Every structure is written in C-alpha cells, then in structure tokens.
Structure 1
Amino acid sequence: MGTFLVLIAAAFCFVGGQHQGLIDYLEQRLVAIEGRISVWHEQSNRYATELLEFKQQMSALTESLEKGHAALLADAHDVGSRVDRLERELDYVETQNPAPPCADTDKNLMEPGIATVKEKNKAEYDKLSHCRDMISSIKAMKIVKKAGGPKGAWFKDTASGAGKVYVFNGTGEGVLYEFGSARDLAASAGLSRGRPLDLPFPWSGTGHAVYRGHAYYVTEGPEFQLIKYDLQNGSVADSAVFPAEDQVPVYGLSPETYIDLSADEGGLWALFATRDTESVISLAKMDPGSLEVEQMWDTPCPRENAEAGFVVCGTAYVVYNTRLASRSRVQCVFDIDGLVSSDEAPLVYFPKRYSTHSSLKYNPLEKLIYAWDDGYQILYKMVMKKKLEV
C-alpha cells in the first residue's frame, strides 16, 4: 500500500513537470513575439518619420521649382521683348535703301500729292507699253487705320489716278464702300463715312481690283465667275466664267481666295491654282474689256505658306509667311518676259505688324501697295529699279 502511494505521487509530479515545461515554452514564445512586435513598431515609426521628412523635402523642392519656373517665364518674356525690339530694328535697317526711287517720293504717304497723280507722272504711265520696272525694296509704310474684319481688301482705281478709295470688308459680303480719299477713310469711324454700294452678287475671297472705273471681283457658285461692275452706273457691265477647272485656293494661308485679280501698268491679271498644278500658282493675263483670258503661265511659286501676291510690270510677286505669323517676305518672283528670276530678285521683307496679309494690291501710279493685315489698312511705299540693271 505504501509503495502504491509513492508511485501515484511520482506520476503526479511527472505530469505537473510536463505542464510547467509547456507553460515556460509558451511564455518564451510570447516574449519573442512581443519583441518582434516592438521591433516592427519601431520600424513603422521610423518609416513614418522618414516619409514625413521626404514629403517635406519634396514640398520644398516643388516650391523651389515653381519659383524657378516663374523666373524662367519672366526671362522668356524679357527675351521675347528683346527679340521684338531687334526685329523692329532689323525692319528699320532693311527698309533703308539709299538707291533713288524711279518715281517722285512724297514725305507723307497721306498727302494730297499722293492721292492724285501729277500730269507728268500720268503721262509717263500712259506711255508704258513695255514696262521694265521691278521692286527693289520697301522704303516706308503707314498704318492708315483699323476698320472692318480681319480679312478684306482696299485700293484705288489703278488706272484713272482718281483719289477715291474702295473697301471690300470681309471674304463674302455684298456691300462695297467708296471713300473720297484715303484721308476720309482714316478719319471715318469704322466704315461709317463711306458710300455703300450694293453689289448684285456677293464676292468671294479677297482677290478684287478696281480698274478704269470698274470693280472686278469673283463670285462663287457652281463655277467661279468674274464680275465687271460699273462704279459710275451701278450696274453689271459684263461677267464671265473663269476658264479653269478643279480650282483650289491660290494661297495656302488664305483659303478663302481662289482667284486673285491684280492690275498693273500693263492691264489686268489673275493669280489662281488648279488640282492639275496644285503645288504651284498659275498666272493669267486678262482682257479687262471682255474678261477673256489672253494667255496663261505656270509659275514656279509654291502655294504652301503663300499669303498673298501682286503683279508689277508683268512680274508676279508672291509673298510668304508661316502659320504662326512672323515676317512676310517676297520669296518667289515670276516674270513673263524671263528678265527676272527669284534668284536675281531682291529678298523684300515687309515690316512685321499683326498677322498675315489677306490682300496686297499694287498701285502703279503711286508705287504703293495697299495691304490688309488683320483688319489694319496699311500703305507700303515701294522703291523700284530697272529689270536688267546690274
């Protein structure tokens, strides 16, 4: 009996020892887990602190970059102002040419002497059957006013020598405005002082001309028609379908204009383009009486980046620009007699002003170009020289 009790006691001691070992093991594991949790907590705090410091650094760097960006913008604006100033100075230098012009020069383009042609000059003009003048440079310019929309055309009668000025405002209207002189236009509030002339058909584009008491303009329908309008009688004197098929805009930068009429010392001309010769501009000599085409030429002048053109003494001058408006320049010249080529012609720059010219109209009696630039009516005084001059 005593031995049995001793065995039972020993068994209980053994079982109790096993439970104590399990408890000790679990306590050790809990301590290890608590240690790891403490390490993870410390690492999380450190990472949060580092992230906060990084965020603060990025915020300071972003603020510094914003200040630097503002400084760069200010510097770019300053550089742009300097470039504009330099371009104006270059324009001034380029327009200064000591060579004497081949026509009398008035100090002020708006003086009465320029509005009406002297009898001596008119007689010289009437004798010009084989004109040999070409443009050498631009001597002066004058901004007459700002009237009307961004696109249009204005000019005088290129043959009569009268002082009246005609304004085609827009690219598809039906009212032509007549002013007694360029001074009347300059003094007018908009176009209010002009005498409105209701045309029988609306015009298309900006390629119009006034020649020998008639307004010549293009109207668009199934076909392009040339209208000859008698300014004195207020009636249509004649009309004709322009003999060209599949026409495209003559200038890449003036998509509204398909036919650009121009009058010079020798008569009436038309600049146009078709799909057959889509990449270049064509030239036609017109009969101002019957509106028939007397002869056609394909010029080497590309349509791309062309903004306007005009004819002087049988030589077509095409003016180019860029879609982001910069400085207009005569870059291509075509002479029907072959006396002038683009390589031989002077590179003529127009002073930078507003946008691109929607029309350039040469007046042979005054040696002036009547320009329309983003709603501004501008006069350019041309210096001429002889075509075969060395």
Structure 2
Amino acid sequence: MAGIVACVFLSCVTLINAQAQTAFLEYIQGRMGVLEDRISQWHDQSSRYSSELREFKNQVLKLLENIEKERDGLRNEMENTNIRVDRLEREVDYIETQNPAPSCVEVDEKLTELHIEKKKKNEKYAKLIDCSDTISQVNAMKILKRFGTTAGLWTKDPIGNSEKIYVFDGAGNDTLYIFNRMKEFTLSSSTRKASKIKLPFPWIGTGHVVYGGNLFYIRQGDEFQLIKFNLVNKTVVDSAVLPIEEQVPVYGLSKFNYIDIVADEEGLWAIYATKENEKNICLAKLDPNNLGIEQMWDTPCPIENAESAFVVCGSLYVVYNTKLPSRSRIQCVFDVSGTISSENVPVVYFPKRYGAHSSMKYNPKEKQIYAWDDGYQILYKLSMKPKEDLY
C-alpha cells in the first residue's frame, strides 16, 4: 500500500516539474524574442546613422573643397592687387620725378639759394617771431630713398645755413651718420659717403633733434636723461633729468618713444606722457641753453593710435593712424596760446605709403617735415595760412 502511495507522489512531482520547465522555457523564449527585436531595431538605426554620417562627411568634404578654391581665388586676387598697387606706386614715383613742381628737394634748394636775397632779412625774421601761421595742407611729398631699419630719424639743423643731413638708424643705437648734402644722402647706396659720430651714450626712441649745432637726445637707462651734445667739438655740453615722474610711451603706435624733443619757430619743446595723465599727451617748453622746463601743458590729444607729433608756431599737431596701417592724419591740435583748437582746424591727411611714421621732424626754416616711414625717408612740404583765417 505504501509503495502505491509513493509512486503516485513521484508521478505528481514529475508532472509539476515538467509544467515548470515548460513555463520557464516559454519565458526564456519570450525574452529572447524581445532581445532579437531590439537588436534588429539597433541594427536598422545603426545602418541609418552610418548612412547619414557618410552623407554629412561628403557634404563637409565638398564644403572644404569649395573653401579651398575660394581661398586660392582670394590669394590670386590679393597677389594681383599687390602687383597693381606696386605698379601704381612706381608710376606715381615716376610722375613725381618727371614733374618738377612737387619736387621738394630741388625746389627747396633753389628757394634757399636764389630767393633769400630777394626777401629782406627783417621781414623773414619778423614773420618767424610773429609766428602766426598754421598748417593748411600737405602740398607735396617726395620719397627720397629707403635706408636702415623700420624705425629711425633723419633731419637737418634749422638754425644756420648748414646743408648737412643727420641720420639716426634704429630706436636704440649710438652711431650717428652725417651726409654733407641732401644729394649725397639721396644718391648714396650705403654709408660710405657719410661721416660717423659715435655718441658717448646710446639713444632710446626716435625723439632726437639737431638744433643750433647741438644734438638733443634721450639717453638709454633707468632715467630718461636729456643729453646736449655738441656736434662740432663732439663733447657733452650739458645733461638733465627732466622733472617728469612715472613716464609712459607718448605714442600708442610707437611704444619706443617716451620723450620726443622737437623744434619749431619758437625753440625747443618736449612731448611726453605720464601715468598721472596716461590717456593724453603732455607738452613742455624747453630752454635750449640750460635744458630747463619753462612751462608745461596737459593737452586733450589722446595717446591711443598716435604715431608721431610735431610743433609748428607753438601749436602741437598729433598724427594718428591705426594698427593696420592706413592714411596718417592730423586729428588733434593744441595751441599753447589758445588761438586755435582741433574743432576749427581741418583734418590734414598724409598720403598713404608703407606703414606708420616712427618719426616726423618739422623744419621751421623750410616748412617741411622729415619723416621716417617703415624705413623710407620722406619729405612733406606744408602749405601754411594765418591762424586768423580759421575764423
């Protein structure tokens, strides 16, 4: 009897296990089916994404090819433009050499040699002392040559009848080149025809000036010391540290200039800037005999984008440009007498040439500016008119 019961029990257990296994297998099959569906969906999406990625890659490649073609086209246009500009400049230079009217050098030499006798000395002296002129326009320009580095200075002594040309190459050096006449400097391809003077101290910047047989320049060093050097005796006559504290570069586009010594009809001036008034340019009247400061002014002329400046008849003219070289222009004027201001002075433009002027030295005797533009030495002839005509 017990055996029969055991057999029945085992049969029931076996039946239950078979049903459980069947259910488990059905569950596993269902999950596998779901996974297969998801894998199929992922495969379809992956194929679609790969196709879209290939299409996007092809589009990008086409765009890159078009950009490369456009860049080549722009490069060719730029090269053609540069060729046309160079040709135009050569034609302009040729016209200037053929036309004697705008020739600054020859005309000025004739003026100084032939017309001095026709004018009375008292009238010329009275006009310089009266000093009632202001700049009307740049009447003519002449490119003399290319000499030296991008920054430098060349000038003449406005006092006396000397025809010597003084050349300072670089914003920091100690060797001065002197040519006896303008033609020697213009026609010479090197410094062999020039006499040399090795200064006792190297200079800094391009703010030097030759005045009355003396060179006034700023010495390199911790202090901006003004040196007065006699060009005949080759000795230091005097020196002074100007009472100007915490100096900063005076021109935004010529960071090497801290003090710019200039000359006009009334004497010597110092153009500078300080941290106390670091946004605008300052002006001081100098005594050329003892290097003392007679008077100082704060001007409204900003330092930003200024490349150079000069003084004419007691008026400061600041020349501006941009970081990308364009046409230089006089955009701010400060008159120490208060007669004129920037508001009633027209903007005067200098012809666009090479870069930015590292120096512009006004010669009150010749009414010319000796400019150094990216290694090119240029003469600007100025037209003047009375200050009263501005009103």
- Are the aligned partners of 2:144 and 2:378 in contact in 1 as well (CA < 8 Å)? yes
* 2:344 is the alignment partner of 1:344: yes
What amino acid is the match of 1:242?
Answer: L
> Do the aligned residues in 1 keep the contact of 2:305 with 2:323 (CA within 8 Å)?
yes
Cα separation, partners in 2 of 1:214 and 1:33, compared to 1, 3 Å:
same
Instruction: Summarize the alignment of residues 261-340 of structure 1 with structure 2, pairs less than 5 Å apart.
Output: 261-340=261-340
Cα shift at 1:48: 1.9
* Among 51, 55, 58, the residue aligned to 1:57: 55
Question: What aligned pairs does 1:170-209 form with structure 2 within 5 A after superposition?
Answer: 170-209=170-209
Q: 1:362 to 1:307 in 2, by over 3 A?
A: same
For residue 119 of structure 1, report the CA deviation from its aligned partner.
Answer: 4.7
2:340 is paired with a residue whose SS is: coil
Cross-structure match for 1:365: 365
Q: Identify which of 31, 40, 43 aligns with 1:42.
A: 40
Gaps of 5+ in 1: 89-104
Gaps of 5+ in 2: 87-99
| Residue in 1 that maps onto 2:139 | 139
Is the partner of 1:389 in helix, strand or coil? helix
Q: 1:166 deviation in Å?
A: 0.9
Match of 2:104 in 1: 109
Deviation at 1:165, TM superposition (A): 1.2
2:103/2:140 contact within 8 Å kept: no
Q: Which amino acid aligns with 2:60?
A: T
- Aligned residue for 2:344, secondary structure, equals coil
Q: 1:52 to 1:114 in 2, by over 3 A?
A: farther
Instruction: Count how many residue pairs are aligned between Structure 1 and Structure 2.
Output: 372
Q: Say whether the 8 Å CA contact 2:253–2:306 is kept in structure 1.
A: yes
The 5 Å alignment of 1:209-224 reads 209-221=209-221, 223-224=223-224
- CA, structure 1 residues 339+82, in 2 after alignment: closer, same or farther (shift >3 Å)? farther
Give a deviation string over 1:11-49, Cα, whole Å, max 9, x none: 666555444434433442343233223213312321220
Structure number with the higher helix fraction is 2
- Flag the 1:55–1:369 CA change in 2: closer, same or farther, 3 A: same
Equivalent residue, structure 1, for 2:113:
118
For 2:228 and 2:210, locate their aligned partners in 1 and report how far apart those are by CA, in whole Å.
Answer: 9
Task: Find the aligned partners of 2:243 and 2:18 in 1 and give their Cα distance.
Answer: 117
What SS does structure 2 have at the residue aligned with 1:247? coil
Larger mean Cα displacement after TM superposition, 50-59 or 179-188: 179-188
Task: Give how far 1:8 is off.
Answer: 7.5
CA deviations over 1:326-354 (Å, ceiling 9, x no partner) = 33221111122322111111101222333
Q: Which has the higher contact order (CA 8 A, sep 6+)?
A: 1
Deviation at 1:206, TM superposition (A): 1.0
Say whether the 8 Å CA contact 1:279–1:304 is kept in structure 2.
yes
Q: Paired residue for 1:242?
A: 242
User: Residues 28 and 373 from structure 1, CA distance in 2 versus in 1: closer, same or farther, beyond 3 angstroms?
Assistant: same
Distance of aligned partners of 1:226 and 1:9 in 2 relative to their CA distance in 1, 3 Å threshold:
closer
For 1:248 and 1:269, the matched residues in 2 are separated by: 18
Q: State the secondary structure of the residue aligned to 2:158.
A: coil
Mapped partners of 2:16, 2:305: distance in 1: 99
Give, in angstroms, the shift of residue 59 of structure 1: 0.8
Distance 1:75 1:340 in 2: 51
The amino acid of 1:175's aligned partner reads T
| Distance in 2, Cα, partners of 1:317 & 1:345 | 10
Q: What is the root-mean-square deviation of aligned Cα atoms in Å? A: 3.5
SS at match of 2:130: coil
SS at match of 2:185: helix
Are the counterparts in 2 of residues 147 and 191 from structure 1 also a CA contact under 8 Å? no
Secondary structure of the corresponding residue to residue 343 of structure 1: helix
Q: Give the distance between the partners of 2:110 and 2:214, measured in 1 at CA.
A: 19
Structure 1's 303 and 8: CA in aligned 2 closer, same or farther, altered over 3 A?
A: closer
TM-score (norm 1): 0.81
